[in-house]
Amino acid sequence: MTDASGARGTARPAPTCPHPATAGHPTVLTGATVVLPTGTLENGQVTIDGTRIATTAPENAQVVDVTGHYVLPGFVDIHNHGGGGASFTSGSVEDVLKGIHTHRLHGTTTLVASTVTGDMNFLTERAGLLSELAEQGEIAGIHFEGPFISPCRKGAHSEELLRDPDPAEVRKLIDAARGRAKMVTLATELPGGIDSVRLLAEHGVIAAIGHTDATYEQTVEAIDAGATVATHLFNAMPPLGHRSPGPIAALLEDDRITIELIDDGTHLHPAALQLAFHRAGADRVAFITDAMDAAGFGDGRYWLGPLEVEVAEGVARLLTDGTIAGSTLTLDRAFKRAVTVDGLSVEDAVQALSATPARLLGMSDRIGSLEPGKDADLVLLDADYDLKGVMRRGEWVVGPQLH
């Protein structure tokens, strides 16, 4: 058995930072292929002044030639349970910060910390801890995945701790988050589900349909009540049927829904991903990791809430029955797979990894695209789409590694 924070895996060394630019030191990246909201600019440049993207560079700016590289906006992950051997559900503050840093090393400059099903008192305590980190700007908010989910589609959640979405208990969680709750995943067909969706919408919290056994009609009712996200579409819900289309059809067809997809080659067959992406479009898809502790860390045994997980060859499964238990994905790998395996354009991949989730979080005025005035959050990739640098709020987290 491992301790509550994680693993028997082996930590991987962090990349070096040969250009230690810091916030306050103006920097100009030149010669890059820059992905902008208006399209891709060859031989472009990005200017950073302090923590923001600037229009013009001061005379004392440091010039970094990144010819042959892509500059993209930093990645935004709205569904992430941990990494680096650390859990957002059960780890200490230091553990949570370690997990956040692990994902930053892979290009995720904005992250929502997701919990898994637990006792209500424990979840309210976690909400307090995570809300402090949100107030400090380390995370963008909290996503409660469970306990208000279907026992028929529980996935890697403890059935003994599941409960119906009583609006009073949903309210208890969002109150404990002190305004930092961003999203709650519910099985909206359960008693109290529709009222809970309305409650969340009234409080500006995203109601996400997931771990659900709903029919098509029940899903439509939940969307009309205010649900706006499909939690990892296809996973933990009834399959698409030609007589019983279930939630997948309802979620795909409605323009009010943003679709989460896990592009790790395990959770989805490429054809399923293509179906969802091309039906919904890049402006309705948010690629997520659904990462657990092993992301960026290694194979071994871990805990996901109260359940033990075995990670082998990068795939996480419950020790008891082999159910897939989150992923070990990082968003730099998701980007590369989207472009090289799934055949998406660089622009569409950027939309799904940055702009769409930023908009969903209500943060597109600050993040999600490379525009003057926005946070200097960016990712540097080489011509093979391998990560060579990460900047967050004007400071290099990684790189740039140009040789």
Q: C-alpha distances in angstroms, 43 versus 32, 34, 46, 173? A: 5, 8, 10, 48
Among 77, 264, 290, 377, which one carries the catalytic annotation?
A: 290
At position 24, the amino acid (one-letter code) is G
Give the other-Cβ count within 10 Å of 323's Cβ.
16
Cβ contact 301:307 at 8 Å: no
Separation CA 35–CA 368 (nearest Å): 11
Angle at 140 between CA 131 and CA 135, to 5 degrees: 40
290 has catalytic annotation? yes
Copy the structure tokens of residue 214: 């709903």
Strand, helix or coil at 36?
strand
Question: For residue 238, is the peptide bond before it cis, meaning its omega torsion is within 30 degrees of 0?
Answer: no
How far apart (Å, rounded) are the C-alpha atoms in residues 227 and 186?
10
What are the backbone dihedrals phi and psi of residue 279, each rounded to the nearest 5 degrees, phi first?
A: -75, -45
Catalytic residues: 290
